[in-house]
Amino acid sequence: MPGSATLEAEVTQVSRHGFWLLLGDEELNVPFAQFPWFKQATIEQLSDVQRPTVNHLYWPQLDVDLAVESLRDPAAFPLVSRPSGTLA
């Protein structure tokens, strides 16, 4: 019985400005300015990323779901959610 295919996602680098995410042979920058809900996350929380489908990423410890396309082209997704606990 063959095993199921697993889509890999890996955080490769973290800085005070954001982090880099490796998806197969593609590496994407995730800047905190555009994705603020990651800014206060620990390395452990950032690194716990799942890729259930080719275009879906999920961070279970942060309860964050993102489309891969929103990382490739953030300008195409202008609505940015605020991190929990912040006001307008």
Region 10-17: mean pLDDT is 97
What per-residue confidence (pLDDT) applies to 86?
A: 58
Choose between 69 and 77: higher pLDDT.
Answer: 69
Output b/e per residue, 26-44; b: 16+ Cβ within 10 A: eeeebebeebebbeebeee
Residue 4 has pLDDT above 80, yes or no: no
Contact present, 19 and 57 (Cβ < 8 Å): no
Query: CA-CA distance, 82 to 25, in Å (whole number)?
Result: 30
What predicted TM-score, i.e. pTM, was given to this entire model? 0.80
Q: What is the model's pLDDT at position 83? A: 60
Per residue in 30-60, pLDDT tens? Answer: 999 999 999 999 999 999 999 999 999 999 9
Domains of the chain: 10-76 (3.30.2020)
